[in-house]
Amino acid sequence: METTKQSPKVHIDDLHFEHTAWVKELAFYKEELQFFRARLEEVAMRYTSAEVLKGIEHFQNQFYIQSNHLDTLLHDINAHESNIAEYAEEHPIAVDHVLFTDHKPLRERVEIHRDLWSSMKKEYQSYLAKWL
């Protein structure tokens, strides 16, 4: 007989706290991305070799992909936050005693993005160290 594993239940405040932390973290990444682009422009102004231009194009593509991914994650986090806020408005009595399904898939996506961001950032820093 197969048993189904139920998703853990969590308090609305815990979901909200995690959403807020993620939004701030992703906003930081967006700011950092602007800084990365500016530094890449410095490299582009100094060098014109094929090797350097290949790296510039690679990181421009990476930054574009990362920016889109950040936007998608922020949208999904905000949509989830909106859903639980709507529930709270519709059920104002004792909403703080209701347990919600954990948002584990969203958390996993944020963690994966964090790992990919770290990897891309290390690669980018190595590139900058070589050319600046």
Q: Judging by beta carbons within 10 Å of its beta carbon (0-12, 13-18, 19+), is residue 87 exposed, middle or buried?
A: middle
Residue 94 Ramachandran class (φ > 0 left, ψ -120 to 50 alpha, else beta): left
Q: Is residue 8 part of a domain?
A: no
How many domains does the chain fold into? 1
Residue span of the structural domain in which 57 resides = 23-131
What six digits make up the tokens of 86? 């709507």
Q: Is residue 119 part of a domain?
A: yes
Angle at which helices 50-90 and 12-46 cross, to 10° = 160
For residue 10, give the H/E element and its range.
strand 9-11
Q: Is residue 100 part of a domain?
A: yes
pLDDT per position as a tens digit, 89-116:
999 888 888 899 999 999 999 999 999 9
Q: Which residue has the tokens 């408005």?
A: 89
Q: Is residue 2 part of a domain?
A: no
Q: What is the overall mean pLDDT for the chain?
A: 94
Q: Does the predicted TM-score (pTM) go above 0.75? A: yes
pLDDT per position as a tens digit, 47-61:
999 999 999 999 999
Q: Judging by beta carbons within 10 Å of its beta carbon (0-12, 13-18, 19+), is residue 40 exposed, middle or buried?
A: buried
Q: Is residue 81 part of a domain?
A: yes
Give the chain's radius of gyration (CA, Å).
20
Q: Is residue 113 part of a domain?
A: yes
Q: Is residue 116 part of a domain?
A: yes
Q: Is residue 7 part of a domain?
A: no
